[in-house]
Structures are given as structure tokens and as C-alpha cells.
Amino acid sequence: MIREGDRVLLVDRRGKRYLVTASNREFHTDLGIINLGELVEKDYGESVISHKGEEFRILKPDVNDIIAKMRRGPQIVHPKDAGIIIAYAGISPGNTVIEAGVGSGALTIFLANIVGPQGRVISYELREDFARIAQKNVEMAGFADRVTIKLKNIYDGIDEESADHIVLDLPQPENVLPHAVEVLKPGGYFVAYTPCTNQVHRFFQAFQEYREHFYKPRVVEVLVREHEVKRECMRPKTTMLAHTGYITFIRKL
Ligand code: SAM
């Protein structure tokens, strides 16, 4: 049952999504005004009706709804890349993951979702303004209990004594290799997301010095081709998100 203060997803007859809070306020849409107080004590799957008589279905928002609607600072890691990071590194409930930089907090939210209430995500960020945005987004997603955002340069070192995995989205992941050797548990993954080929090249040049500590270097790029589904025709969409980043995985011995 929905309680006052809960985040709720409303979906209109066109499939348009609205992320709202169950509260004593009005929410204005082009399909009419909704009294958000009416959401309290309803169940997910039920509906509310706007003053124009339009029906809005009530759903529980998932991480993708939160990330789609949250405030952004820098460019986020997309779900297709977050998915492969989590799957290939085997990130699991209860894990401790060290992340940098936090940016808008999108990858942080995906990681927090998978490590669960028994896990921890410790995220380093250089910029106070981004750390503030990310903190709000993490709170909106309901993961403040398991995420710690630190205003620190991860190139200077990692405070934590050990971690199951290290996940990086910053310009020079090779600068974190000496710290990862100290902190990563055997079997844990070091993952670096970088948009440019020269960053991957530079990473592997630096990696030569540390290769005795790691095995299984792997670099992937994820391409997702979506299809248009119409009654008479299903075909690939004419446009796609062609390139986001290269994802490098190395595993600690
Ligand atoms: N992965 C984030 C997301 O999904 O929202 C976006 C990260 S953004 C592209 C890169 C972030 O790394 C920026 O916020 C930047 O300030 C931060 N950053 C860059 N170098 C850093 C460092 N040495 N230590 C900590 N944070 C750093």
C-alpha cells in the first residue's frame, strides 16, 4: 500500500511516465490535474483519475524510471553498459563496490540496487556540485542506506582496506591500478568505462607494470539495436545509440 512520501510512477493512456510523490499536492499534466493525496492508501496497479476524467495507472518506480527522471550533472552510464558491468564482473548482493567518479549517480544507483541492503557502494567524486546531485538522486532511489559518497580524488588513494570490486568512470583509470592492487580481494574485478580508444590503449600500457596481479583482460563495447513494433511491421529503428564507451575488465589474482 502506498504511504505519504512514497515515490510513485503514473502512466497515462499514451504510455507517458510521470514520477511523483504521494503528498497533499496537485500535479498538472496536459491530460488534467491529479490530486496526489488520492494516491495514499492505494495499491500499485490501481488508477487515479484526473479532473478531465483521464485515467493514470499507478506503478512502483524501478531504478530505470528513477534514472530517466532524475537530475543530471555529467553524462551517465547507460543501462546497457551498467548491465554488462554487473553481469561480467559478477557483482552480487552483499558485495562492497568502490566506485569513481559518482557524476550524476546513475551507475551508483544500478550498483546499489544489485548489492542490496547488505552491500555497500563507496563512491569517490572530485566535484562537490556533482556529489550533491548524486546524493539527492541516490536518496530518491531509496539507497542512501548503502551508498557513501566521498568528496575525494581516487587517484590519491583508496581509504577502504578491501573491496569486492572497483568500478571506474573517469578519464585515467590506470592511475587507480596501484591502489586496486592493495584493496581488491582475490577474484574481484577492476572495471573501467572509458569513451575513447586512446584511453583504453593508455590503460593497457600502464597495465603492463601490474599484470602479474591480474588475469583475464577483456574489453567490450555494447551495441543495442532496438526494434519498432507496429501492427503491420516490426523492423530495426532507423537510429540507435551507436557509441557510449569501452568497458575494460581485469580480474585480481
Ligand atoms: N558514472 C556516472 C553516472 O553514471 O552518473 C558519471 C560519471 S562522470 C562521466 C565522471 C565523473 O568522474 C565526474 O563527475 C568527475 O568529476 C569525476 N572524476 C574525475 N576524475 C576523478 C577522480 N580522480 N576522483 C574522483 N572523481 C573523479
Q: Residue 94 and residue 83: Cα distance in Å, rounded?
A: 18
Is residue 103 included in any domain, yes or no? Answer: yes
Q: Give the closest residue (by CA) to ligand 1 atom 8.
A: 103
Q: How much distance in Å is there from the Cα of 154 to the middle of ligand 1?
A: 10
Is residue 12 included in any domain, yes or no? Answer: yes
Please indicate whether residue 153, judged by its CB atom, sits closer than 6 Å to ligand 1: yes
Domain termination residue (choose one: 61, 78, 100): 61
Q: Residue 206 and residue 222: Cα distance in Å, rounded?
A: 24
pLDDT in tens, 89-118: 999 999 999 999 999 999 999 999 999 999
Please indicate whether residue 189, judged by its CB atom, sits closer than 6 Å to ligand 1: no
* Total count of domains within the chain: 2
What's the pLDDT score for residue 216?
Answer: 83
What's the pLDDT score for residue 148?
Answer: 98
Residue among 169, 172, 179, 191 to mutate when testing ligand 1 (max atoms within 8 A of CB): 169
Is residue 1 included in any domain, yes or no? Answer: no
On whether both 80 and 202 belong to a single domain, the answer is: yes
On whether both 42 and 70 belong to a single domain, the answer is: no
On whether both 106 and 145 belong to a single domain, the answer is: yes
Q: Residue 37 and residue 53: Cα distance in Å, rounded?
A: 17
Q: How much distance in Å is there from the Cα of 103 to the middle of ligand 1?
A: 5
Q: Give the closest residue (by CA) to ligand 1 atom 22.
A: 153
pLDDT along the chain (253 residues), means of 10: 95 96 96 97 97 97 95 95 98 98 98 98 98 97 97 98 98 98 98 98 98 96 95 93 96 98
On whether both 52 and 84 belong to a single domain, the answer is: no
Q: Give the closest residue (by CA) to ligand 1 atom 18.
A: 101
- CATH number of the domain to which 13 belongs: 3.10.330.20
On whether both 124 and 46 belong to a single domain, the answer is: no
On whether both 79 and 100 belong to a single domain, the answer is: yes
On whether both 43 and 146 belong to a single domain, the answer is: no
Is residue 122 included in any domain, yes or no? Answer: yes
Is residue 154 included in any domain, yes or no? Answer: yes
Is residue 237 included in any domain, yes or no? Answer: yes
What ipTM was predicted for this assembly?
A: 0.99
Is residue 23 included in any domain, yes or no? Answer: yes
* Grid cell listed for 46: 490501481
* Grid cell listed for 185: 580481494
On whether both 183 and 84 belong to a single domain, the answer is: yes
Dihedral-angle region of residue 233 (phi above 0 means left; psi in -120 to 50 means alpha; beta otherwise) = beta
Helix axes 106-115, 79-89, angle to 10 degrees: 40
First to last CA, the chain: 47
- CATH number of the domain to which 106 belongs: 3.40.50.150
On whether both 35 and 136 belong to a single domain, the answer is: no
Match 558485495 to its residue by C-alpha cell.
95
Q: How much distance in Å is there from the Cα of 28 to the middle of ligand 1?
A: 35
Domain termination residue (choose one: 44, 61, 78): 61
Residues 153-156: contacts with CB under 8 Å, at least 24 apart: 153/124, 153/126, 154/98, 154/100, 154/101, 154/124, 154/179
Q: Does residue 58 contact residue 10 with C-beta atoms inside 8 Å? A: yes
Residue among 81, 126, 151 to mutate when testing ligand 1 (max atoms within 8 A of CB): 126
Q: How much distance in Å is there from the Cα of 17 to the middle of ligand 1?
A: 29
Q: How much distance in Å is there from the Cα of 22 to the middle of ligand 1?
A: 33
On whether both 105 and 227 belong to a single domain, the answer is: yes
Q: What is the mean pLDDT of the chain?
A: 97
The residue among 81, 193, 72 whose CA lies nearest residue 136 is: 72
Domain limits for position 112: 66-252
Residue 30 identity:
D
Distances (CA, A) of 103 to 65, 68, 150, 179: 18, 15, 12, 21
Query: pTM score > 0.90 for this model?
Result: yes
On whether both 134 and 173 belong to a single domain, the answer is: yes
On whether both 51 and 85 belong to a single domain, the answer is: no
